[in-house]
Amino acid sequence: MDARRYAALPDPFPMWRGGVLRGARIAYETWGTLNARRDNAVLIFTGLSPSAHAASSAANPADGWWQGMIGPGLAIDSARFFVICVNSLGSPFGSTSPASDDPATGQPYRLAFPDLSVEDIARSGHETVRSLGITRLDTVMGPSLGGMVVLAFVAMFPGAARRMLCISGTAAAAPFAIALRSIQREAITNDPAWRKGEYSADAPPVMGQRLARKLGTVTYRSAAEWQERFGRAPIRADMKRHDPFASEFAVQGYLESLARRFVSAFDANCYLYLSRSMDRFELSAHGDPVELMRGARLQQALVIGVQTDLLFTITEQQALANMLASAGVPTRFAPLPCIEGHDAFLVDIKTFGGEIAPFLNAT
C-alpha cells in the first residue's frame, strides 16, 4: 500500500548553494479535498527523518508519523483542509536524494549530490504546491527541520502562505545543536564501512548509523521523561548484547531497538546531507529577519516550543515569536511544559493538538 504521489520539479532544478538537479521529483501524500477556490491547503514539512506518510489514508492505512493529528475532525482537520505532506528533497523516501540515481551516470549520486540546503527543501515544497494549482496556502507548517524550512519558505516566497506554524524550529542552529549533530555525522563518516559514501546497498555503515541514531534519540528527549519511563530498570534479556561495556539498563535496550529500526530504513548519505543542512541554515542570509517576516505577508503565526527541548531551546522559540511580533505579524507563542523534549510534537498529540486546532480553525 502506497499513498505517495510525485511532483516533477522544474528541470533543471537550481540548488541554493550551486549545482542543479536534473529530472528531480518530490514524493508527497495528501488528505482531504482541495476546494474550488483552492484556498484551503495546508503544507507540512517534516523533521529530519520522516517520510510523507504523516497519517493513514484509504491508499495507505498504516499509521503515519503524525497519526492522531491529521484526519477528519482532528487538530489538522482533513474535512476542512486539503493537507499536503512532502518528503524532503534529500530524504530517501521517494524524493530525489543522494540515494537516487544520477541521470547523468545511471549510478546513485552519493556524494556527487550537490550541497543540500534548507532553502532547497523549501523551494521543492513550493514547486510541489504550485504543481497542484495552488497559488496561496492557507498555512505552511512544520516541526524541527520542518520549522526551519517553514521560515525559509515564508522568507523566499512572500504571499505564498497566509499563515505560518513553526514547531520547535529555529532561524539559525545553535552551537550546542551543531555540536550534537556533527558528532552524529562523524560517527557515520568514521565507520570504515561508510567508504567515503561509496558503501554498497547490502553493507551500509550500520555501526556508525546506529551510534548516530542513539545520540540523536537522546537529544530528542529529556532527562525527566527517561527518569519517569526507565529509571534504573535493567535491560530485557533479549536486548542484552555480548559487550562488557554496554547494555545493562532498559534505557540502553530502548536506544538499541530504535537505532536498529532506523538504520534499516534510512540511507546514511541522506542523513549526512540533511543533518548538515540544519547546521548551515541562517534565515539572516536572506536579509534582516524582521524585514523578511514583514514582507512575507503573513496574516497570523503560531510558534510552539517545548520547555524541555535541549536542541531547539525554549529561548530560541521565544526569540522567533518576538521576531514575528516585531514584524507586525499577529503571533501566538506557546511554550509547552511537555517533558518529552524536542520530540514532544510526535508524542503529546493532545497538548500539541490543543494549540494547533484553535489556530487552524480560527476564521
Interface residues with its own copies (CB under 8 A) are 111, 172-180, 182-183, 185-192, 207-208, 211, 214-215, 218, 221-224, 226-227, 229-232, 243-252, 255, 272, 275-276, 279-280, 282, 310, 313, 315
Q: For residue 60, how many other CB atoms are within 10 A of its CB?
A: 15
The least distance separating its own copies from the CB of residue 81, rounded to whole angstroms, comes to: 35
Backbone φ and ψ for 336, nearest 5 degrees, come out as -85, 145
Q: How far apart are CA 215 and CA 220, in angstroms?
A: 9
Q: For residue 314, how many other CB atoms are within 10 A of its CB?
A: 17
The least distance separating its own copies from the CB of residue 211, rounded to whole angstroms, comes to: 6
Between 224 and 265, whose beta carbon lies closer to its own copies?
224
The least distance separating its own copies from the CB of residue 243, rounded to whole angstroms, comes to: 6
Q: Residue 230 burial by CB count (10 A; 0-12/13-18/19+): exposed, middle or buried?
A: middle
Between 8 and 223, whose beta carbon lies closer to its own copies?
223
Between 35 and 315, whose beta carbon lies closer to its own copies?
315
Q: For residue 177, how many other CB atoms are within 10 A of its CB?
A: 20
Between 84 and 272, whose beta carbon lies closer to its own copies?
272
Q: For residue 361, how many other CB atoms are within 10 A of its CB?
A: 11
Alpha-carbon torsion (78, 120, 340, 205), positive or negative: positive
The least distance separating its own copies from the CB of residue 9, rounded to whole angstroms, comes to: 24
For the annotated catalytic residues, the residue numbers are 144, 309, 342
Q: Which residues of 133-147 are buried (b: 16+ CB within 10 A; e: fewer)?
A: ebeebbbbbbbbbbb
Q: How far apart are CA 273 and CA 150, in angstroms?
A: 18
Between 38 and 229, whose beta carbon lies closer to its own copies?
229
The least distance separating its own copies from the CB of residue 284, rounded to whole angstroms, comes to: 10
Between 314 and 357, whose beta carbon lies closer to its own copies?
314
